[in-house]
Amino acid sequence: MLNITDDIRQLKRLIETKAQHPYLLKYIQKPSLDEDKLILLWGLFNDLDVTSEKRNQYISSTMLVQIALDTHEIVSNSGEGIESPEVLKNRQLQVLAGDYYSGLYYQGLASVGNVDMIRILSSAIKKINDNKIILYQHGSINDVPTLLMTIRAIEASLIYKLGDYYSEPAWMELSEDLLLLKRLHAEKCSYMKSGQSIVFDVLREMTFDDSIGGKASIKEEQVRTQFDKCLWDARQSVERSMRKLAKLDDELLERVKAILEQTESIANSYVKEG
């Protein structure tokens, strides 16, 4: 009997084989696979009464959707100046690759005649894209709860919609909380490395304390403090969500703990400053 490690390895091979296209890979980077989302999907379907064949089909199709979304996300939209033929070709192939991966997901589910799954994932795709527009549209988010809700939708809608369909609220909650925490951690790392972060940009548009006037350095410190509070709260939510799952595979549990450990120093700094 396969354990989670064997299952994940098998699923990765299955997804990578489906996504492989020799011509595309000559010009664009190999599509990345979010292993945390893969593990969460495994945990969800492992709790359901479905055959391993259907489970693998549903998980691989969902991950192909994620790969398509991620591929479209990295397409450059700068449009500044005149692009060289090579750059233009690369951008066009990146878009086509995302469309290709989307087609694979439809093909896979159509082959097993699962119209419900196509409907569920299509609904999730719409929700993700709608919330990406909200996140990147200047002035569309005015408070922290809306910001966090938007990030949750972007990161977890695929798994959340499946959990809702199968009436698995504990997996819905854990996926939202864990993937929010992971995204916040990535945004913090990007901010510390390059000063760039869409989440920090949105927070700068909000007003937390008018008394500080126009002092840019103080405002930036306020933004950092607010961000670290969000990250601290997200860690608490993950710990609560973990306790709601009656059984959590050891490997999944270790991965959750690893993500919590990655964010521990930032969370502790917030507590000390607070």
Given a cut of 90, whether residue 182 has pLDDT beyond it is yes
Give the pLDDT score at 21.
77
DSSP-assigned letters across all residues of 104-142: HHHHHHHHTT-HHHHHHHHHHHHHHHHHHHHHHSTT---
> What is the chain's Cα-based Rg?
20
C-alpha closest to that of 58 among 20, 10, 109: 109
The predicted model gives 82-108 an average pLDDT of 73
Query: According to the model, what pLDDT value does residue 208 have?
Result: 63
Q: Identify which of 10-19, 25-34, 136-145, 264-273 has the greatest average pLDDT.
A: 136-145
Helical pair 115-136 and 144-165, crossing angle rounded to 10 deg? 170
Contact at 8 Å (CB) between 15 and 64? yes
Least confident of 96-105, 142-151, 160-169, 191-200: 96-105
Element containing residue 43 per DSSP (H, E): helix 35-46
Q: What is the overall mean pLDDT for the chain?
A: 84
* Segment 51-57 long-range contacts (CB within 8 Å, at least 24 positions apart): 52/2, 54/112, 56/10, 56/11, 56/14, 57/108, 57/109, 57/112, 57/114
3-class SS letters over 156-195: HHHHHHHHHHCCCHHHHHHHHHHHHHHHHHHHHHHHHHHC
The per-residue pLDDT for 158 is 97
Looking at per-residue pLDDT, the higher value among 74 and 66 belongs to 66
> What confidence score (pLDDT) does residue 109 get?
81
> Could you count the other beta carbons within 10 Å of the beta carbon of residue 265?
8
The predicted-structure confidence for 247-257, as pLDDT tens digits, reads as follows 777 778 888 88
Q: Give the count of alpha carbons within 13 A of 269, CB side only.
A: 11
User: Mind listing the pLDDT tens digit for each residue in 209-224?
Assistant: 555 555 777 888 889 9
pLDDT above 50: residue 77: no
pLDDT of residue 81: 52
In this predicted structure, what is the pLDDT of residue 266?
A: 62
Q: Percent of the chain scored above 70 by pLDDT?
A: 85
pLDDT at 212: 52
